[in-house]
Amino acid sequence: MNTRNVGSVGASVDGARRAVSRRGFLGRLGLGSVTALFAASGISRLAGAAPRADADITASSLPLALPPMPYGYGALEPFIDEATMRLHHQAHHAEYVAELTAALRNYPDLQQRPITDLLRNLQALPPAIRETVRNNGGGHVNHAIFWVIMGPGGYREPTGELAQAINAAFGNFAGFKGIVNQTGLNRFGSGWAWLVLDQNGRLLIRDTLNQDSPYMDGQTPLLGVDVWEHSYYLRYRNRRSDYLNAWWNTVNWDAVAMRYAAARR
Ligand code: MN3
């Protein structure tokens, strides 16, 4: 496996309750959590313009659509520059969507399943498209999450149950940020650093290589930071650390909290 766990001190939840709710939890993971996420992050105002926005993230029915950016390309300035955001969305993310669309074209049965479900069951996919779904399905889902867990408004910190769970798992918020930053820095080459909820209801910080998704390991990604060079090179050049430090000014904790609540249901 190309991944590793860091800071695996758990934020425990009631195991029996989770076991009972597992089926419903899995059934709602993709679409439900994203729907809630959009509603919670104020993106619902885009519903008229992009009625399929939530479904686009998880449904594999063709044609797949590039989810619209929930804010302007320049909205995360000065932390992430407009040119990077535009290119990242219109070129990189769009390419993942195009490649995934091509891969699924001849598999109508797979088109009926959420992309998150395909990622969870990669080994059951036809070998001819397995790697394409891994890379481009992962790329599509990872970026769809990335856009919505960011937003304008500057630096914020989590509140409520999510803040309590982060503190319980990682000591305090500063410690949590430090582990995420170090995880992103240590990711040699391209990939992501994530906060995930694992199968046992624990919060973990981990990385993934390339466009691998935590869904591939049965985990629910709550927050992720893209550390591919295309995420930061125009403004930060090779200084990934500067990008990571600045990135915390873009996190939309309301959206992360909604993903957390949905994943625990
Ligand atoms: Mn990217």
Q: Please check the confidence at residue 243 and state whether its pLDDT lies above 60.
A: yes
What tokens appear for 201 in the block? 């209801």
Rounded CA separation 259/238 (Å): 31
- Confidence bin at 13 (pLDDT 50/70/90): very low
Ligand 1 centre to CA of 3 (Å) is 18
Say how far apart CA 120 and CA 106 lie, in whole Å: 20
Note the Cα 250 to chain centre separation in Å.
14
Structure tokens at 163: 């803040």
Q: What is the pLDDT of residues 148-199, one digit of tens each?
A: 999 999 999 999 999 999 999 999 999 999 999 999 999 999 999 999 999 9
Q: How far is the CA of 135 from the centre of ligand 1 (A)?
A: 12
Give the model's confidence band at 18: pLDDT under 50 very low, under 70 low, under 90 confident, else very high: very low
pLDDT band at 235 (very low <50, low <70, confident <90, very high): very high
C-alpha 121 – ligand 1 centre gap (Å): 23
Mean pLDDT of 204-210: 98
Rounded distance from Cα 19 to ligand 1 centre (Å): 34
State in Å: Cα 240 to ligand 1 middle: 14
Residue 6 Cα to ligand 1 middle (Å): 22
Distance 24 CA to ligand 1 centre (A): 31
Q: What is the pLDDT of residue 198?
A: 97
Ligand 1 center from residue 175 Cα (angstroms): 25
Q: What is the mean pLDDT of the chain?
A: 82
Q: Give the distance (Å) from ligand 1 centre to CA of residue 146.
A: 9
Give yes or no for residue 3 having a pLDDT over 60: no
How confident is the model at residue 59, as a pLDDT? 63
Q: What is the mean pLDDT of residues 21-28?
A: 33
**How large is the average pLDDT for residues 222-239?**
98
Would you say the pTM of this structure is higher than 0.85? no
Q: Tens of pLDDT along 37-90?
A: 333 333 333 322 222 233 345 666 777 889 999 999 999 999 999 999 999 999
Contact 222, 253 (CB under 8 A): no
238 Cα–ligand 1 center, Å: 15
Looking at the chain, the whole-number percentage of residues with pLDDT higher than 70 is 77
16 alpha carbon to ligand 1 midpoint, in Å? 37
By C-alpha distance, which of 118, 35, 96 is closest to 226? 96
Q: Are 167 and 173 in contact (CB under 8 A)?
A: yes
Q: Which of the pair, 12 or 191, is modelled with greater confidence?
A: 191
Count of alpha carbons within 13 Å of 163, Cβ hemisphere only? 8
Query: What pLDDT, on a 0 to 100 scale, did the predictor assign at position 63?
Result: 75
Q: Tell how far the Cα of 211 is from the centroid of ligand 1, in angstroms.
A: 8
Centre of ligand 1 to C-alpha 155, Å, is: 22
For residue 191, what are the β-bridge partners? 209
